[in-house]
Chain A
Amino acid sequence: MSGIWVVLEERDGRMGRISWEAVAAARQLGEQTGAPVSAIVIGAETQAAADEASARVTGRVVRLQHSLLFPYTADGFTSALEQFFRAEQPAYAVFPHTYQVRDYAPALAARLGQVLIGDVTGITEGPEFTRQLMQGRLNGTFRHTGEGTCFLSVQSGAFRADTAGNGNAEVSLFAPVLEAAQIRTRPGECFRASAQTVDLGSAQIIVSVGRGIQEAENLPIVEQLAQALGAELAASRPICDSGWLPMERQVGSSGQTVSPRLYVAIGISGAIQHLVGMKGSQCVVAINKDPDAPIFEIADYGIVGDLFEVVPALTAAVNAIKQ
């Protein structure tokens, strides 16, 4: 049992930032164990990705390549990585916590008799792994026991990608044995539901509304604040799920990622799926009746109170200075 292996994930032909964040997390484990960090690139064509990875890690880079590894399927990825990990027996396998990883890494770990520690936000001595519970209200400290590889996936934004250092790792090829019949699912093309007409990504000010608004009929009070501030209106997932605002106004892991100068979160508790979409905002204001709501952990300014009183008061105060 040795070695720390990061499974990198390509998006649109390039490694996503979250893959380098996973490398940074792996490096933190490496400092504890003394092991170098190696990387796996996986797909039908992996040369370019391997070159990119080679410059970023100090251990090895392995190209896990097979024509059946594109497009992504859980069956293909699980089987290919299972073969490699059985041969390599790493101490740690580190993944970026993406939708794709969530689709196969739990099964991969289980197949190897292990349990994935998912969505990790911190690594401390031990090592012990921190992840959030109860919709971000509590942190849990988790520990891997027994023999075998410790599997973990790291949350987007939890580790700093720019600490992923420079390397010149040796690249080798690993050809897994895969049969077409093993792939039980047939994925289609990816598509977007509708043309995106709202570009929240370039908005300077965003007023965002969550479950606390209670009913669609109450939305005008936040619309009025958005208008007063010259802001785009956005929402957390439940609001869009209920059809109160269109999906294209959704901020979070399944919606848009935003980083405005000002983000006003109204009646949003701050589940992690929402926070990953807006925590890059320069200034966050939270208005919520629950003083323990996780949104206050990342807010610069907070008002604990009834949004039905606070928001109209805020709209009036903003309008007053504009007169």
Chain B
Amino acid sequence: MKIIVAIKQVPERDAQVRINSTGGWIEEADLQWALNESDAYALEEALQLKEKHSGEVVVLSAGPGRVGSTIREALAKGADRAIHVECNDLERHDVVGIARLLAAAVGPEKPDLVLTGLQSDDFGHGQTGVVLAELLGLPHASLILHVEKTDTGLLVKRELEEGWFQEVALPIPAVLTIQSGGSKLRYATLMGIKRAKTKEVRRITASELSVAPGQVVILDKLSLPHKQKSTQILAGDAKEAASALVEKLRFEVRVL
């Protein structure tokens, strides 16, 4: 089974994100970057499928040079090779623009399966996998927690809202968007990290793929969210803040 996993590098979870001077994007200098969480689960699912059914896992990522470190991390965890679509202004592409870049890179590979996380932790559109399937003309299933290969294709466990699930059967090739939490993530071993250095990373640029930035939907500006409630911040050390809170809960909220 040949599996392509589309992954994204995003600001690390606890990173302080600040709006840049133009107001159009975040200040990228000094940011720490990490593999997007649900993409890590997509990679894990791909590696487990390969272990069960053999084949090849190819990671695919679009972004500037810094993305290389996240690609190496995926290779160290066990992916066989990588494709890096070099693109220095990914944030200027709309959802379909990004999916077009990925589709152009996936197409010639003719994979049996394309996996990606269900949502990125930066833009959070949660659309790339579904649009990628549309552009590739492949069936898809989204919010997937578990993938099983069958004689005719795949049987997947799909998450629905409010604690419900559903099994869906679909043929391959197909695109799946993977939800977090379906399996336990592995760590890269020392051997894996060593091996990753010798694995192939093919670099192609957006212009080599002849994909222009999608410009149907434009991000005009970023802003800090408005507070929906006026929060009373209780100051002082832990003990003082705790007593102040208990007072509020007793006499203002009246729940104690």
By a beta-carbon cutoff of 8 Å, the part of chain A in contact with chain B is 74-75, 78, 98-99, 102-104, 106-107, 109-111, 113-119, 128, 131-146, 148, 184-193, 196, 204-205, 211, 229, 237-238, 240-242, 247-248, 250, 253-257, 261-262, 269, 272, 282-286, 290, 292, 294, 296-306, 309-310, 312-314, 316-318, 320-321
Within 8 A of A (CB), among B56-75: none
Q: How far is the CB of B233 from chain A (nearest CB, A)?
A: 5
* Contact across chains for B16 and A302 when beta carbons are under 8 A apart: no
A283 to B252 alpha-carbon distance, docked (Å): 10
* Contact across chains for B225 and A310 when beta carbons are under 8 A apart: no
Among A107, A253, A310, point to the contact of B133 (Cβ < 8 A).
Answer: A107
Given known A-B contacts A283-B255, A302-B233, A106 and B166 have beta carbons under 8 A apart: no
* Contact across chains for B221 and A188 when beta carbons are under 8 A apart: no
* Contact across chains for B229 and A297 when beta carbons are under 8 A apart: yes
A253 to B168 alpha-carbon distance, docked (Å): 21
B248 within 8 A of A: yes
* Contact across chains for B166 and A189 when beta carbons are under 8 A apart: yes
Q: Residue-by-residue, is B178-205 near A (CB-CB < 8 Å gives 1, otherwise 0)?
A: 0111000000000000000000000000
Given known A-B contacts A115-B94, A254-B159, A283-B255, A237 and B139 have beta carbons under 8 A apart: no
Within 8 A of A (CB), among B135-162: 135, 139-143, 159-162
Q: How far is the CB of B201 from chain A (nearest CB, A)?
A: 28
A205 to B180 alpha-carbon distance, docked (Å): 28
- Stretch of B79-87, B107-115, B235-243 contacting A (4+ beta carbons < 8 Å): B235-243
A143 to B218 alpha-carbon distance, docked (Å): 5
Among residues of B, the one whose C-beta sits closest to the C-beta of A275 is: B228
* Contact across chains for A193 and B223 when beta carbons are under 8 A apart: no
A sample of 19 more A-B contacts (CB under 8 A), given A133-B123, A139-B222, A146-B215, is: A74-B139, A74-B140, A107-B133, A110-B96, A111-B134, A116-B95, A119-B126, A138-B26, A138-B224, A142-B218, A186-B168, A192-B163, A192-B164, A211-B13, A237-B181, A297-B229, A305-B238, A317-B243, A317-B246
Contacts of A248 in B (CB 8 A): 163
Contacts of B209 in A (CB 8 A): none
Q: How far is the CB of B112 from chain A (nearest CB, A)?
A: 15
Among A106, A141, A185, A240, point to the contact of B181 (Cβ < 8 A).
Answer: A240
B7 within 8 A of A: no
Given known A-B contacts A139-B224, A292-B16, A255 and B241 have beta carbons under 8 A apart: no
* Contact across chains for B219 and A140 when beta carbons are under 8 A apart: yes
A116 to B99 alpha-carbon distance, docked (Å): 13
Question: What would 17 A/B residue contacts be, using CB atoms closer than 8 Å?
Answer: A98-B161, A107-B131, A134-B124, A138-B223, A189-B167, A190-B165, A191-B165, A191-B166, A193-B165, A254-B161, A262-B249, A285-B249, A301-B234, A305-B238, A317-B239, A317-B246, A318-B246
B232 within 8 A of A: yes
Given known A-B contacts A138-B19, A141-B223, A184-B171, A191 and B164 have beta carbons under 8 A apart: yes
A300 to B234 alpha-carbon distance, docked (Å): 10
A283 to B218 alpha-carbon distance, docked (Å): 37
B220 within 8 A of A: yes
* Contact across chains for A297 and B139 when beta carbons are under 8 A apart: no
* Contact across chains for B222 and A140 when beta carbons are under 8 A apart: yes
Among A131, A141, A261, A294, point to the contact of B255 (Cβ < 8 A).
Answer: A261
A204 to B249 alpha-carbon distance, docked (Å): 13
B21 within 8 A of A: no
Contacts of A294 in B (CB 8 A): 225
* Contact across chains for A302 and B231 when beta carbons are under 8 A apart: yes
Among residues of A, the one whose C-beta sits closest to the C-beta of B161 is: A99
Contacts of B229 in A (CB 8 A): 284, 297-300
What 9 A-B pairs come out closest when comparing CB atoms?
A: A241-B181, A106-B127, A184-B139, A309-B238, A313-B242, A107-B134, A188-B167, A314-B242, A186-B169
Contacts of B224 in A (CB 8 A): 138-139
A146 to B217 alpha-carbon distance, docked (Å): 9
* Contact across chains for A283 and B161 when beta carbons are under 8 A apart: no
A18 to B166 alpha-carbon distance, docked (Å): 21
B1 within 8 A of A: no
A189 to B123 alpha-carbon distance, docked (Å): 33
